[in-house]
Amino acid sequence: MRVAVIHGPNLRLLGRREPEVYGKDTLADVDERLRALAAELEVEIETFQSNHEGEILDFVARAAGSADGFLVNPGGLTHTSVAFRDALVGVGRPFVEVHISNTAGREPFRAHSYLSPVAAGVVFGFGVQGYLLGFRGLASRLSGA
Ligand code: CA2
């Protein structure tokens, strides 16, 4: 089983800006914790971050050749991108959407996600721990458990 992790625009700032909203862990810390969990669950993992929507769409198409599912924090694309949703639906692999913050309790525009209706599951509000919860949920879904 193989999972591709996508971090959307600006998530490379994790741990460096707005720690009161997104916490103190860096993106490298998150990827390290995900890799440790993947090893424990015997799941292969690759991680990807881009600030460019087109690069993310190309990554989805490329990774779908080997990945069974996606773990995605779409960042701001959550609230704007029909194209990201179409790309994920188009490759026919289940994905779990993760948000570090509680998007339902912030500005009203963050309450809507183009991806949530087509996600296998959504985790939000648990800080970076949400990545690990989402990864477990996706692995369980992919194993048919
Ligand atoms: O809570 C989340 O994980 C978000 O997906 C983060 C996005 C935001 O647009 C979503 O509404 C919710 C923002 C990603 C920007 O990442 C930063 C991380 C640290 C500091 C500044 C930006």
Q: Please say whether the dihedral angle defined by the alpha carbons of residues 63, 64, 69 and 74, taken in this order, is positive or negative.
A: positive
pLDDT in tens, 3-18: 999 999 999 999 999 9
Atom 17, ligand 1: residue with shortest CA distance: 11
The one-letter amino acid code at 29 reads D
The average pLDDT across 111-137 equals 98
pLDDT in tens, 11-39: 999 999 999 999 999 999 999 999 999 99
Q: Is the CB of 14 under 6 A from ligand 1?
A: yes
Q: Is the CB of 73 under 6 A from ligand 1?
A: yes
* Residue 145: pLDDT over 90: no
* For the chain, percent of residues with pLDDT exceeding 70: 100
Residue 88 to residue 144: CA distance in whole angstroms:
20
| pTM for this entry | 0.98
